[in-house]
Amino acid sequence: MAKEKPFVKASTGDGQYKYLETSILSSSPEELIVKCMDIAILFAKKGLEKIRTGGASYATMDIAGISDALIRSQNALTLLMGSLNFEIGGDLAQNLFRLYEWWHHELVMANMEKQSARIETILPHMVTMRETWAEAVRKFRLERRQQRDTSALAGLSA
């Protein structure tokens, strides 16, 4: 039985899938959050592009392509919702869940209506959140590196 590849088109070559798989498997938990945001944004943009290029008529729209792209974006958001730890995160985790849930709902509705407005509304928020997560990861790495350097220096002076 073939592996499930939820974010990679079936036509994607095995080399590209292996690259994506390796990238995901070698990522830290905090890097995975940024990658999920990247995937959610990428496929929301693809869905938006397909809606816009299809025109106002269902007859000219790539219905399957729109649906595929928006469902992939929804899947990435579902992963983000599932990654939240409400015991540790408290109100922050609750608020992130509500935000991800709103984005997910808007993508579901955009998929049903084949209208771009909902995606256009949430996309800037998704991009801002992705930038925020990326900055948090950079700061976390810097702090961790500084702690290791401090520990190493303390070990040398002992």
Q: How confident is the model at residue 57, as a pLDDT?
A: 79
Kindly report which listed range (19-28, 77-86, 94-103) carries the lowest average pLDDT score. Answer: 19-28
CATH top class, domain 30-157: mainly alpha
Q: How confident is the model at residue 137, as a pLDDT?
A: 95
- pLDDT higher than 90, residue 17: no
Give pLDDT tens digits for 105-129: 999 999 999 999 999 999 999 999 9
φ/ψ bin of 85: left (φ > 0), alpha (ψ from -120 to 50), beta (otherwise): beta
- Tokens found for residue 61: 């729209």
Q: What is the pTM (predicted TM-score) of this model?
A: 0.81
Reported for 98-106, long-range contacts at CB under 8 A and 24+ positions apart, including other chains, are 99/125, 99/129, 103/40, 103/77, 104/74, 104/77, 104/78
Mean pLDDT taken over the chain: 88
Q: How confident is the model at residue 59, as a pLDDT?
A: 83
Q: How confident is the model at residue 11, as a pLDDT?
A: 44
Q: How confident is the model at residue 86, as a pLDDT?
A: 97
Report domain extents, the chain: 30-157
